[in-house]
Structure 1
């Protein structure tokens, strides 16, 4: 993300809020994450609040910035309030963000897409086992997942 605006704090969480995380986020830093480049902001302990974060882009009391060099990874349970900071530089902040969750949770956000069968069939068996539930998902996102053709196991 090049020069931009901060996000408001968020959860990667379904509603109602369960007492436990249902996914973890892994953010692989490909460029330096510093406060001035908009490093991810987290609020330690917020996983215990049991309510949604405030609708603000302002800094929250007690928040930390996940600052680290390229090659670092931060792993967060989805119940921790987190947000991208403001990139105040012209240097892009680049990362790969992955969510890990049980397949039965379904599709929580619109940024998860189906895998085409011909692509899936070329994957190693270990990768096929992890992604078979993503085969040809219905992308008409309405909060419920429709798996149209997952292979039988």
Structure 2
């Protein structure tokens, strides 16, 4: 690891997380690491734009029209992306023996439904399952600086909730204020403690004008979700930092991606961790190639969920 850990006052960062609900650590990645991750993410995004991952199988059902309207209402997605989301949903519905949800689709836990891969009318993009598609990036999952902070908040046996890359496209309007899943669907008052910790590795400089994340300092103590709004707030803080830095916030801290008014995308890698007893956003274990898993460190495998599930009782 290129970072010398004593150069970072992690005790100070821990205090800031506790007091403000977020922190930024600058220049954690070495220039060669940063360039390698940029190239990998760019290649994956280009590949998935050319060949979007859409599984086959699964029959259409009458409720599909309502589900499509849910995506049109809540996300800035194209009709092509709505159709891809419906195809992914139908595939998983068949895989789950067509078991219905007990609530309308809009109230289903976001851990159980597909989220857009292309959004902002295809101007912005996500790549899910980075650890499967680029196992060489797994070292980010157990980065010693981030992992110490995460375990301080969530406990030593925490797991990885999600691992994805994002690109906020040029001239896009920014996202809505929110708290991280599953908090948005938990009755208020929300828990006093965070359920997940989000870590965002900056592949580009985060500036006020290119889509840098906005947070509301101290909002982790509000114990409620923010009003649905995409506009600026008087009490917001823009997380500006150079590429190679990492931004960290608690799941109950109000945040959103800002508008990108520039001509270039703003790229990042997201590592989200959860308490060990919380069901993860991504099922890494059942989707991972066993040969790939064998090459990963024991720490990374546990974070991905190996040995962190209920045993097969006999």
Q: Which residue of 2 aligns with 1:87?
A: 260
- How far the C-alpha of 1:121 sits from its partner, in A, is 2.8
- Confirm or deny that 1:43 pairs with 2:211: no
Distance (whole Å) between structure 1 residues aligned to residue 304 and residue 312 of structure 2: 11
Deviations 1:46-84 (A, max 9, x none): 111122111111112210100010011111011100000
Q: Which residue of 2 aligns with 1:7?
A: 175
Deviations 1:96-115 (A, max 9, x none): 111112232112x4xx2423
Aligned length: 137
Distance (whole Å) between structure 1 residues aligned to residue 252 and residue 200 of structure 2: 15
Match 1:114 to one of 284, 297, 307:
284
Distance (whole Å) between structure 1 residues aligned to residue 220 and residue 181 of structure 2: 11
- Confirm or deny that 1:101 pairs with 2:101: no
Alignment of 1:5-84 (within 5 A): 5-14=173-182, 15-16=186-187, 17-84=190-257
- How far the C-alpha of 1:117 sits from its partner, in A, is 4.7
| Secondary structure at the counterpart of residue 173 of structure 2 | coil
Residue range with higher mean Cα deviation, 123-132 or 79-88: 123-132
Distance (whole Å) between structure 2 residues aligned to residue 29 and residue 151 of structure 1: 40
Runs (4+) of structure 1 moved beyond 6 Å?
Answer: 149-152
Bigger fraction of residues in helix: 2
Query: TM-score, normalised to structure 1's length?
Result: 0.79
Cα contact 2:210–2:259 (8 A) shared by 1: yes
- How far the C-alpha of 1:90 sits from its partner, in A, is 1.2
Distance (whole Å) between structure 2 residues aligned to residue 27 and residue 134 of structure 1: 26
Distance (whole Å) between structure 2 residues aligned to residue 40 and residue 122 of structure 1: 34
| Secondary structure at the counterpart of residue 103 of structure 1 | coil
Are residues 122 and 87 of structure 1, via their aligned partners in 2, closer, same or farther at CA, if it must alter by over 3 Å?
Answer: same
Unaligned runs of 5+ in 2: 1-167
Unaligned runs of 5+ in 1: 136-146
Cα contact 2:284–2:305 (8 A) shared by 1: no
Which structure would you say has the larger Rg? 2
